[in-house]
Amino acid sequence: MKNTFTIAVSLLTTLAACGSSSSSAEDPKPAAPRKPARKAVEPPLEFVGVVTTRDSKVVASEFEGRVVALYVHAGQRVRAGDPIAKLDDSQVRKQLAGAIAAVDAARAEMGRAGVEVRAAKREMRLERRLYRSGAVAREKIRQATFDRSRAGAGYGSVAAQHRQAVAERQQLEQHLARATLVAPIDGVVSMIRVKEGEVARPGTPVARVFDPKDLWIRFAVDNEYRSLVSEGTKVAAVDPATGATFDAVVRSVSTDLEPPLQFIVADADVDDRRINGETVGVGVVGTVRLERRPRK
């Protein structure tokens, strides 16, 4: 009897063990959920940029002259009317003296031609009266009419010369008045192209004055990244002196590649509310960063 009980207990124990193993095999524990793989984030692109402004004015020479004085330096703040440079005006003064003499000579010629016109008109009236009285032939009237026309043409030619001489005199007077180049607007002087002693020719840019109230940044973009930069693209400009960053939005992108270097030029409007125009000067070269989208 004792053996029978022992066998029964052993059998129950074995069945219980088998039942537990079967239940574990049929109902496995649920596996932990797999975390989605993170998308690879590429580092931002960096381009070389230079601080500029929306508005600027070029200060250019109006006549050929040697630069005898340069009153400003790059980065200097000026107000409209402040002197920028002084050109040698000695040649202009000589030309002006000649132009004044030409005006006087043309005026004298106009007086002489006017006398001839009045004399020709008087002669024509006299010949007509004589013709009506039968004292002269009709050919005399024709000759008098021709002489009056010739005198009138001579007067017109001299009058044109007088107007030309006056225009040249006025132009030289303007050049003389503008021998001292002045700032056209309030702003910051940059891009000074001449030095004292150099000869500035007509139209030569002497300097450029930038209006710092609306800062922009211009940067070059390699051709391979051309598709990433368009109107409305947001970028971050980095001040090289302080390391501070400020936001900007691309407003224009050049449509043509620069042939030698194969890049495009983009202009971005800086958020002036977050930048100190006193510390970030026009012409400062810095870095422009463009964040790239994560890879899928």
Q: Mean pLDDT, the chain, as a whole number?
A: 81
Rounded distance between C-alpha atoms, residue 39 and residue 250, angstroms = 27
Hey, is 244 helix, strand or coil?
A: coil
Q: What is the pLDDT at residue 232?
A: 92
- Cα 161 versus chain centre, distance: 40
Those residues with Cβ within 8 angstroms of residue 112's Cβ, 6 or more apart along the chain or in another chain: 158
Under 8 Å between Cβ of 75 and 188: yes
The tokens of 274 are what? 């977050």
Q: What is the pLDDT at residue 71?
A: 95
Mean pLDDT along residues 74-86: 92
Q: What is the pLDDT at residue 260?
A: 61
- Side-chain half-sphere of 213: how many Cα atoms within 13 Å? 6
pLDDT digits (tens, 9 = 90+) for 202-226: 998 999 999 888 889 999 888 888 8
Rounded distance between C-alpha atoms, residue 177 and residue 258, angstroms = 40
Under 8 Å between Cβ of 190 and 75: yes
Lowest mean pLDDT among 10-24, 131-145, 188-202: 10-24
Mean pLDDT along residues 153-170: 92
- Name the residue among 280, 283, 278, 82 with its Cα closest to residue 192: 283
